Every structure is written in structure tokens, then in C-alpha cells.
Structure 1
Amino acid sequence: MHYAEKELLIFKAFKDILYSDSDITKITVSEIAKKAGIGKGTVYEYFESKEEIIAKSLVYNFYEEVNIFSSKIDENLTFKENCYILFDFLTNRVIAISPYFQLLSSNLKIKELCNYLKNDSILDNLKNDLDYVTSKIISIGITEGIIKKNDNKDYQKFVIRSACSGIANSICENKSTDLEICKSYAYEFIKRALK
């Protein structure tokens, strides 16, 4: 997906503000424009509202992070090592995006979020990239004999996504669960379900 330079400045400015000590529920378009070094009117040339900035910034920043993460999956590492790279990425992302969801839940309805994103091809690219990474990890597991070669590919992806969902749920429940234990459970779940 190609973005104009000013859109990228807006995404970066919004992310910087979101992770600063400011009250995220009071972020304004003026504040975003100032941080981006552009005029407020320029922001409205690219986005209809603050809510659209929030929605598209969330997806864009996640997409960029997925690209960085996918380059870390390495066929020279073991299946387990690659699973833990996936789990670490997931853990960091769930923790990092919680301010976005806090802001979205206070200012934006899910239906509005979907409306802002439904025609944005970045979501398709994001899904394709995540599927590619998952397939790459599965391929490594098959090579090592950890995963059965003849299992349905969609089932294999489902198992890995389910393990990731378990980690994300543990983080979101905000219990004092040891994340390393959650990761080991997720890995054992994958091994048992795909053996």
C-alpha cells in the first residue's frame, strides 16, 4: 500500500502522541497536526476525522511491525525458536496496542472502525503477510517432523492462531500470569494438536 508522505507523518505523529504521557482520550487533530509538522487543514485533506486517523494508524503501524517481524522468521532456526519469535511478537503487540483500543473504546464504535477500513487494501496485505509467516513456520515444523505433512493446511494455521489467541487472552485478562509459562503452554498445544 502506498501512502503519501504527509499521511505517514500523521501516522507517526499519532503513534508518538499515543505512547507519550498525555491523556489519550483528549488527543485532538490539532495536536496530531502540530506533532506531524503540518497544518490542521492538511490533515483533513487526507482524513475525514480523528477516528479515521486512529483506525488507519492502528492498522498501518501493525502492518509495518508485521513486516519487521516476518523478516525474523528464519529457516535456519528451529520450529520452536520460530514459534517463540511469533509469541514474543504477539506479546509485544498486544501490550503495545492496548492504548489504541483504550482510545477506540472511548471514542469510536466498532462499526465505525470497520467502515473506515473496509475499502483499505492494507487489511488484505496484512492477512496475506500473516498467512505467509504462519505457513513458513508450519513448513519448518513439517521439515523437523513435528507437524504431520498431510494435515489440512487451514487446520494447521487454525491451531497456530488458536495458540496465539490463548496468549493474547492471558494478557488481556490482566492476570498476573507468567508470560513465559503461557508461551510454553501455547507451544505444547501446537505440538500436540499437529502431531
Structure 2
Amino acid sequence: MICEKNYSQKEVLVFEGFIKLADEGISISNIKVADIAKSAGIGKGTLYEYFENKEEIIAKSILYKMNKEFGKILFSILNAQGFENKCNIGLQTILELMATNCSYFQILMINKDIHNLLKCINHGKDEMIQLREYVLEMLDPIIDLGIDEGVINKDHDRLYIRSVFISVCSGMSTMVRFSFGELTIEDIKRQKDIAYTILIKSLS
């Protein structure tokens, strides 16, 4: 994980239990603590030994998955060579994560009750902000590499460059998710190529 935190075995069971329910498309407002406990395979009373309420469970579950998935993305990028290769591998990793069950990207995009989901996430706001800042800082060496290679215009504002990266990843994820499984492997590759093209044109 990119923001190290030691979770107990039961906490992880609760996180995965909630994420399983969310992955099934169940509305946040319809998920009860008892449902999460059952999905996690633990007693409801045990669950309350670790969490105060459903909102805390949801916030920490999302943070748990964000940590794991962003960590995987950043690891894949940092071990690649060259700006274009780093970007393409990062985009490919996002697509691979979207194809798996219980992905953070899937939870945010398939849940029918996005308003309540965002309210719950607010319970972990400080940790979310910390994670966001860490991810943005981890982008900087990639941005610097792009500038050194002449791919990114050095006169662009750093906030603008970071925003382009985040927007491109979000846009690609949305396009793929709302194809409802109709895209072929070639179509998905095309989406990745388009995302990289948008990135380069926006930053040149």
C-alpha cells in the first residue's frame, strides 16, 4: 500500500465484505451493517468492536481499496522506463483493475446511490486528502521525465499538468465502464491509445 496502515484480519474481512456488496450494485442506502457482517463472515457485534457505524465502514473500505489499487498503479509506473512507456503501463493497469471484481474504480462507477456514497466517503476525508496528495506527488517524477524528454511543455503550470493526468485517467475509465461490457479487447486498447493521445496533445 502507498499509505502504510496495518489492518487486523477482521477489519480486512469487513472491508472485503462491504466491497463485495457494492460490487453487486447494491445501493449504499440499502446496505445494512448486518448485511456487511454477513458478507464478511463475522458477527454483527464483532463488527462494532472495530467500527462505530456503517459510514465509517464504507469510508475505510474505500480507502483500503484506493490504497491497494493506487499502489499497484504507481508500482507498475515506477518500474517502467521512459515517459510513454510509464504512461501506457499505468493506463493499462487501470484497465486491468477495472476488469476485476471489487475494484475501487468499479465501486465508484456502478453504485446507484452515488450521493450517499460520497457522504460516507466524507467520513474519511482527512485520509482521502492525504492519499490524494501522495498520489499527486508521485506523479511529479513522471511529469519531470516528460518535461526532460520534451513531451510536456515546461511552461505549463504544475497544477494544470496534474489535472490533465487525473482527467485523462478518469475519462478513460468512464468510457470503458459505461460500454457495459460491449467493448472488445481491441476496443479497450483503442481507448488506452486515445487516452495517451489526449494526454500528449493537452500537455505539448
TM-score (normalizing by structure 2): 0.74
Which residue matches 2:197?
188
Classify the secondary structure of the residue corresponding to 1:73: helix
Alpha carbons 1:24, 1:103 under 8 Å: kept? no
Which residue matches 1:9?
13
Give 5+ residue unaligned stretches, structure 2: none
Which residue matches 2:46?
42
Distance across 2 between alignment mates of 1:102 and 1:183: 18
Give 5+ residue unaligned stretches, structure 1: none
TM-score (normalizing by structure 1): 0.76
Distance across 1 between alignment mates of 2:55 and 2:79: 40
> Which of 123, 139, 142 does residue 144 from structure 2 map onto?
139
Measured after TM superposition, the shift of residue 158 of structure 1 is 1.7
Alpha carbons 1:33, 1:39 under 8 Å: kept? yes
Call closer, same or farther: CA 1:102–1:77 in 2, change over 3 Å.
Answer: closer
Aligned residues: 191
> Which of 57, 64, 67 does residue 68 from structure 2 map onto?
64
Alpha-carbon deviations, 1:22-47, whole Å to 9, x = none?
A: 78567654454456564321211222
The CA RMSD measured in Å over matched residues stands at 3.2
Alpha carbons 1:160, 1:190 under 8 Å: kept? yes
Which residue matches 2:91?
87
Which residue matches 1:170?
175
Classify the secondary structure of the residue corresponding to 2:156: coil
Distance across 2 between alignment mates of 1:169 and 1:111: 17
Distance across 1 between alignment mates of 2:109 and 2:199: 31
Call closer, same or farther: CA 1:94–1:104 in 2, change over 3 Å.
Answer: same
Larger deviation: 89-98 or 36-45?
89-98
Residue identity opposite 2:148 in structure 1: T
Alpha-carbon deviations, 1:89-116, whole Å to 9, x = none?
A: 3324445346534785359724632442
Residue identity opposite 2:152 in structure 1: I
Residue identity opposite 1:122 in structure 2: E
Once the two structures are aligned, what percentage of the paired residues are identical? Answer: 31
Classify the secondary structure of the residue corresponding to 1:117: helix
